[in-house]
């Protein structure tokens, strides 16, 4: 092993000093950590770190008292330092998010600037945590906080190196899809169109019962027939060919297509892995297109991320992923209104203020809004949005007595209004109870460009999923290194309704989700979890 320090500057094809490793490419790092907890292999192929995980085991007595026992366990993490060549396959490639992401990566990769009525705009990845945020490393000699770009601590994939492809029920090429979406400024569209006109989505899976009837006019690019197992096999073939044709090391698939209705959970159909596979072979009507994609990815051993709110991961699908140790993540991109809700609700409850009602209204005019105008598809979105404050409420038994059935009245309304296009207008009202019968109402009016918030989330989900796929761990004393559990809950920061392994409660608080990802990165390079005690300035 190399000396107990970590220093990386690598391209996507290797590890170690490389003149080709520059900002904007995969594997670029700027951090050197000196710690006896971390070692780099002599051939710089992997990083080995030691980490003591500390927590507290709590027992609640019948008298309402707490018995707390600090516990700790020693782990070893192993990080593969070689960033692979990755293909990103999008389901719904020709939609707003898919076409916007494709145009954005082309503009950034080629340094294409453009003009709006406010002046010149340089290409960027604003809105992406991995590309446009920082992470606190520690303090300098003067006690000042020092921050580093999020993606420069350990080697990570960069979106400039994405090889993008995918499927869509619409046959429109990506340049025309971009124009149809009406998201990006014309001057940018004009310049990137020549790079996109030759890109055409593969035929996708289309079961009319699962999306709104108003989408039928778009469906001119579908895999023929009604044999659902044949559809799984076709998708697997598509993935293998995409990987081979582009000389890829790995493929990650993300669903950014229309919201589906919820699939009914039926014993004997989708409740176990074997039953689900049998149901697909029998082309059962209650197997959704998104589940077909998920199963195809699981069988191919590649990560699948669900960016829409439907219950793609029925119990049988989760069990199948566990069986194959294939990574899955979901559900529903957390971009604007819901992300704010997870922060504001946490702030109120942590401040000892008791929210009693949350009313959320939004309207938008893009195709997502058009699809959500159908009742069953809206219901999927409503369920996803409503769950975001559940664990926050459960965290405070002073404000909310579970035995008395205390809860927050939570109302969600979504309306389609074509005129506003991709500009989603959101209005929220938080009505809370204060001391001695007082009340406080917070009203928020938020206008956001929906796809320009959602598209960076795809970048982060792909980058973090790929990063986590290179991490293995073992508890001290164990022989084998193991991958993370199939349900990759580290992706929760970017998702409205975080998928968790069976029997585990989800974490919705945004700060907790972010802290989990940050502290994982810190652990890998021999740093302790982030501390804000700042005893340097609080003690004599």
The residues that are catalytic are 332, 381, 424, 496
For 381, the enclosing helix (H) or strand (E) is helix 375-386
Q: How far, rounded to the nearest angstrom, does the alpha carbon of residue 129 sit from its chain's CA centroid? A: 11
One DSSP character per residue, 450-474 reads: HHHHHHHHHHHHHHHHHHHHTEEEE
Give the pairing of strands 304-306 and 328-329. Answer: parallel
Q: Mapping DSSP to helix (H, G, I), strand (E, B) and coil, where does residue 297 land? A: helix
Q: Which residues contact 19 (CB under 8 A, 6 or more apart)?
A: none
Whether 325 and 377 have beta carbons less than 8 Å apart is answered as: no
Q: Where are the alpha helices (DSSP H) in 184-259?
A: 186-196, 228-245
Q: Can you tell me whether residue 87 is helix, strand or coil?
A: strand
Place of tokens 């014309």: 186
Say if CB 298 and CB 321 are below 8 A apart: yes
Largest CA distance in the chain: 76
Q: Residue holding tokens 């069953």?
A: 376
Can you tell me which residue has the tokens 């990560």? 303
What's 210's DSSP letter? G
With both helix axes pointing from N to C terminus, report the angle between 228-245 and 273-281 in degrees, rounded to the nearest 10.
Answer: 100
- For the chain, give percent helix, strand, coil, nearest 5: 35, 25, 40
Contact (Cβ atoms closer than 8 angstroms) between residue 470 and residue 503: no
Strand ranges (E), 346-408: 354-364
Structure tokens, 97: 């998010």
Cα gap 386→306, rounded to integer Å: 18
- Cβ count within 10 A of residue 335: 23
């Amino acid at each position: 092993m190399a000396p107990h320090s970590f220093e990386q500057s690598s391209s996507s094809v290797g590890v170690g000093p490389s003149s080709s490793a520059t900002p904007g490419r995969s594997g670029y790092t700027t951090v050197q950590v000196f710690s006896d907890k971390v070692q780099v292999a002599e051939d710089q192929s992997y990083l080995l770190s030691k980490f003591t995980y500390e927590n507290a085991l709590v027992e609640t007595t019948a008298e309402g008292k707490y018995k707390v026992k600090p516990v700790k366990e020693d782990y070893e993490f192993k990080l593969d330092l070689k960033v692979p060549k990755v293909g990103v396959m999008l389901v719904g490639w020709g939609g707003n998010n898919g076409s916007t992401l494709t145009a954005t990566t082309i503009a950034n990769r080629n340094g294409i600037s453009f003009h709006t009525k406010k002046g010149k705009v340089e290409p960027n990845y604003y809105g992406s945590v991995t590309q446009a945020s920082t992470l606190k490393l520690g303090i300098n000699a003067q006690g000042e906080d020092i921050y580093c770009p999020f993606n420069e601590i350990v080697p990570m994939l960069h979106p400039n190196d994405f090889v993008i492809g995918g499927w869509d029920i619409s046959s429109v090429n990506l340049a025309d899809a971009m124009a149809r979406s009406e998201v990006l400024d014309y001057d940018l569209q004009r310049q990137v169109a020549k790079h996109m006109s030759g890109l055409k989505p593969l035929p996708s899976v289309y079961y009319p019962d699962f999306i709104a009837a108003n989408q039928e006019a778009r469906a001119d690019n579908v895999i023929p027939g009604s044999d659902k197992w044949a559809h799984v096999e076709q998708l697997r073939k598509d993935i293998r060919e995409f990987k081979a044709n582009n000389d890829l090391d790995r493929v990650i698939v993300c669903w950014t297509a229309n919201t589906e209705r919820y699939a009914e959970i039926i014993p004997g159909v989708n409740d176990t892995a074997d039953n689900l596979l049998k149901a697909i072979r029998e082309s059962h009507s209650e197997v959704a297109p998104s589940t077909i994609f998920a199963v195809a990815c699981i069988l191919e051993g590649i990560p699948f991320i669900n960016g829409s709110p439907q219950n793609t991961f029925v119990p049988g699908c989760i069990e199948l992923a566990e069986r194959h140790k294939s990574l899955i993540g979901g559900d529903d991109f957390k971009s604007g209104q819901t992300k704010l809700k997870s922060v504001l609700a946490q702030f109120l409850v942590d401040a000892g203020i008791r929210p009693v009602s949350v009313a959320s209204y939004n309207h938008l005019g893009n195709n997502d809004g058009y699809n959500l105008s159908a009742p069953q598809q809206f219901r999927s979105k409503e369920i996803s949005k409503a769950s975001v404050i559940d664990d926050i409420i459960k965290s405070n038994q002073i404000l909310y007595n579970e035995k008395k059935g205390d809860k927050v009245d939570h109302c969600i309304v979504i309306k389609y209004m074509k005129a506003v296009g991709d500009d989603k207008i959101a209005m929220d009202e938080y009505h809370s109870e204060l001391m001695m019968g007082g009340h406080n109402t917070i009203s928020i009016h938020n206008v956001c460009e929906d796809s320009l918030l959602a598209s960076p989330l795809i970048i982060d989900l792909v980058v973090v999923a790929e990063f986590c796929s290179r991490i293995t761990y073992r508890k001290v004393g164990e022989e084998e290194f193991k991958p993370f559990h199939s349900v990759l809950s580290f992706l929760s920061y970017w998702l409205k309704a975080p998928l968790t392994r069976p029997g585990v409660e989800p974490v919705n608080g945004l700060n907790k989700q972010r802290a989990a990802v940050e502290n994982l990165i810190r652990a890998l390079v021999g740093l302790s979890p982030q501390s804000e005690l700042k005893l340097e300035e609080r003690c004599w």
